Amino acid sequence: MTQGAGRARFHRLRVAAVDRLTDDAVALTFAVPQELREAYRFTPGQHLALRRAAGGTGDGAEVRRTYSICSPAPAATAPGTLRVGVRMVDGGAFSTYAHKEIAVGDEVEVMTPAGRFTLAPAPGRYAAVVGGSGITPVLSIAATLLEREPEARFCLVRSDRTTASTMFLEEVADLKDRYPDRFQLVTVFSREEQQAGLASGRLDTERLSALLPALLPVDQVAGWFLCGPYGLVQSAERALRGLGVRRDRVHEEIFHVDDGPATPRPAPTGAPAHSTVTAQLDGRAGTWPVQDGESLLETVLRNRPDAPYACKGGVCGTCRAFLVSGSVRMDRNFALEPEETEAGYVLACQSHPSTEQVELDFDR
Ligand code: FES
């Protein structure tokens, strides 16, 4: 598991910079004090959950959102900073706050890094297909890899609506300048007229199936990183499958499935009328009844408000827990790899009991 030291926790970090990336995206840089450097050490590709406490939101509800780290993993001696990209979402409670209110010098509650869409630098050839803000974790992955591994190569296929909406244009161009022989870049704009040297249109399965083998020897790629809207990630995955790429070489992170919790589904026939969940968290366990329709995360949160979560939408993986006994049904899962579900991990925010007793371990 590629996480910072210990289970994810919130700390207040000072905002060191707010940089406007596009009309609807900013980058927030946080200063990490010496005593928290170890806790915020990250593997490129991980994300941070940011929290605005109840009371700050006007309607009394706490808001959490996860944002990927875009900065390269720092050397041990580098000053401690973390940078995330935040794209404005229409009506988005946290992104509006980030864009309109957060200023240099403010303190924001930031969870320690989490997520398994990662690449620990290693020699070899790597590639990514990203859309929109999906560039954010891949920028960190590519920059760290190219800097640390002199023989590694990275091919980035990115799509966005227009040049003006494209996040991290300069940072990506900088990689191209610094590593002209090892960094390959193809940019496709979906809403821009074809111009000299620029591709346009949508990246669908058919197009990617033709494009990728023309760019690089597909069978020699040690890791593929697909990140962005659900449709693009699905198209890229289908293209790679059609090209014979092994499933264990493909890593996926979906952004923007929706901005809220999953719609609870009615319990299927055969589901137990009364269930309890036992949860182990930070070495302490408790057992509580699960109320009708609620997820196991909600049951645990009513009793242990320190239980880890961020999106409650099956996307970020922060609520991952090991299913010790019993069985659950998950509404949806965009976060866990097949190996993780096979090993017994579930997303607590999406899980409902299928047996009268269910036991989860958040510490594993
Ligand atoms: S809280 Fe994000 S997947 Fe459960």
Query: From the CA of 207, how far away is ligand 1's center (Å)?
Result: 32
**Averaged pLDDT for residues 275-293:** 95
Which ligand 1 atom sits nearest the alpha carbon of residue 308? Answer: 1
Q: Which of 350, 264, 359 has its CA nearest to residue 315? A: 350
Which ligand 1 atom sits nearest the alpha carbon of residue 347? Answer: 4
- With a 6 Å cutoff on the Cβ, whether 335 touches ligand 1 is yes
Q: Which of 63, 52, 69, 41 has its CA nearest to residue 12? A: 52
Q: How confident is the model at residue 8 (pLDDT cuts 50, 70, 90)?
A: confident
Q: How confident is the model at residue 76 (pLDDT cuts 50, 70, 90)?
A: low
Query: From the CA of 298, how far away is ligand 1's center (Å)?
Result: 11
Q: Is the pLDDT of residue 324 over 50?
A: yes
- Asked if 213 and 243 touch (Cβ cutoff 8 Å), the reply is yes
Which ligand 1 atom sits nearest the alpha carbon of residue 314? Answer: 3
Which ligand 1 atom sits nearest the alpha carbon of residue 311? Answer: 2
Render pLDDT for 101-135 as a digit per residue (tens, 0 to 9): 999 999 999 999 988 899 999 999 999 999 999 99
H/E stretch holding 47 reads strand 47-52
From 179-183, 222-226, 229-233, the region with the lowest mean pLDDT: 229-233
Q: How confident is the model at residue 1 (pLDDT cuts 50, 70, 90)?
A: very low
pLDDT for 74 equals 77
Contacts 24+ apart (CB under 8 A), 278-281: 278/324, 278/357, 278/358, 278/359, 278/360, 279/304, 279/307, 279/321, 279/359, 279/360, 279/361, 279/362, 280/324, 280/359, 280/360, 280/361, 280/362, 280/363, 281/306, 281/307, 281/362, 281/363
Q: Which two tokens stand for residue 1?
A: 């598991």
pTM of the model: 0.86
Query: From the CA of 356, how far away is ligand 1's center (Å)?
Result: 23
Cα 42-8-255 angle, rounded to 5 deg:
70
**Averaged pLDDT for residues 184-209:** 78
Query: From the CA of 95, how far away is ligand 1's center (Å)?
Result: 18
